[in-house]
């Protein structure tokens, strides 16, 4: 396994692979890897084959964090991440630094962003202004650096995956976007690097995201006719409010392709929610 820290070196490798017709699968991450991330690397390997190259990037992207968010204390565990990647059979770990990604020198400071203007407006976009601008910008940069044939994203960050797909379509990136299922703990909690923040009783409270999803699923599937979204939202708000240390940020029922909210919830509607557990903001989503 090779560790590449320079953008130039990564681009030269990518060019060489391209000339030789080597297939490249890419998994962008912010590190502090868990089984969810590793499942994406495994999927990339399945898709590019033994002769292909799997590239994992580890980069905590400052532009996708708000000023009051957890950029500074976001968990970092590079040595452990490298061990996990090596064990998983990853070929290249790309670890750029902020100086290269967002130069701030006087002569050529960074000033170009990629902005998606529709899908980014609701849910995560409404709660975290500028978050998606940071995501689309860094993903566009990483695609230009790694030049993969395909990139694997997790369904855990559903709105992000839908938006990246739109960006790739709108800006004609020659990259196929693959979305892999959310990997969960045994009680249903979606694996996340931020679960590290859940100490003591908070870990139990975090189970409420999965319980809310399951409750909505049951209602959507068992109801004789479509369920009004407002009614289901009220029910789930109560469920969250009854959980210690939990505070609902949003719960939305949307069309999975357009992300437009639906008025009536049926089987196949997509649900997404964000809940604060103590100070930690967790998200989850799923098809009902
Ligand atoms: P992050 O490091 O949180 O930016 O995530 C990097 C990639 O891993 C994104 O495509 C996420 O959607 C994906 N991911 C994070 N958690 C999970 C999970 N529990 N299951 C599947 N994919 C995940």
- The whole-number pLDDT of residue 106 equals 85
User: pLDDT tens across 8-26, in order?
Assistant: 999 999 999 999 999 999 9
Which of 119, 128, 190, 126 has its CA nearest to residue 161? Answer: 119
User: pLDDT tens across 277-288, in order?
Assistant: 999 999 999 999
What is the rounded average pLDDT of the residues 65-85? 95
User: pLDDT tens across 14-63, in order?
Assistant: 999 999 999 999 999 999 999 999 999 999 999 999 999 999 999 999 99
Q: How far is the CA of 262 from the centre of ligand 1 (A)?
A: 26
Q: How far is the CA of 117 from the centre of ligand 1 (A)?
A: 23
- State the residue for tokens 């967790």: 282
Residues in the chain: 288
Q: In a mutational test of the pocket of ligand 1, which residue from 36, 132, 167 has the highest number of ligand atoms less than 8 Å from its CB?
A: 36
Whole-prediction pTM: 0.97
User: pLDDT tens across 143-169, in order?
Assistant: 999 999 999 999 999 999 999 999 999
Calpha distance 221→52 (Å, rounded) = 42
Calpha distance 66→12 (Å, rounded) = 33
Calpha distance 195→206 (Å, rounded) = 9
Classify residue 65 as left (phi > 0), alpha (psi -120 to 50) or beta: beta
Residue 50: partners with Cβ closer than 8 Å, 6 or more residues away: none
Catalytic residue list contains 270: no
Per-residue pLDDT for 108 more than 90?
Answer: no
List residues bridging with 150 in a β-sheet. 25, 176
- The whole-number pLDDT of residue 240 equals 98
């Amino acid at each position: 396994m090779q560790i590449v820290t320079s953008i130039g070196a990564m681009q030269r490798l990518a060019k060489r692979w391209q000339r030789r017709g080597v297939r490249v699968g890419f998994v962008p991450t912010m590190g502090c890897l868990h089984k969810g991330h590793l499942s994406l690397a495994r999927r990339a390997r399945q898709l590019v084959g033994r002769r292909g190259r799997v590239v994992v990037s580890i980069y905590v992207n400052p532009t996708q964090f708000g000023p009051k968010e957890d950029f500074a204390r976001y968990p970092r565990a590079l040595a452990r991440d490298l061990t996990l990647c090596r064990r998983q059979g990853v070929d290249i770990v790309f670890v750029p630094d902020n100086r290269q990604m967002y130069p701030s020198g006087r002569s050529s400071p960074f000033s170009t962003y990629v902005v998606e203007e529709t899908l980014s407006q609701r849910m995560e976009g409404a709660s975290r202004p500028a978050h998606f601008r940071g995501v689309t910008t860094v993903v566009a940069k990483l695609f230009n650096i790694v030049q993969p044939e395909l990139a694997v994203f997790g369904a855990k960050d559903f709105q992000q995956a839908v938006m990246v797909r739109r960006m790739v379509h709108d800006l004609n990136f020659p990259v196929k976007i693959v979305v892999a299922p959310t990997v969960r703990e045994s009680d249903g909690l979606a694996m996340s690097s931020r679960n590290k923040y859940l100490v003591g009783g908070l870990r139990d409270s975090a189970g409420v995201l999965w319980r809310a999803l399951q409750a909505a699923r049951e209602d959507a599937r068992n109801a004789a006719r479509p369920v009004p979204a407002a009614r289901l939202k009220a029910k789930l708000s109560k469920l969250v409010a009854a959980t210690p240390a939990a505070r609902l940020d949003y719960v939305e029922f949307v069309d999975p392709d357009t992300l437009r909210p639906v008025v009536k919830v049926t089987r196949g509607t997509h649900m997404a929610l964000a809940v604060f557990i103590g100070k930690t903001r967790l998200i989850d989503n799923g098809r009902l």
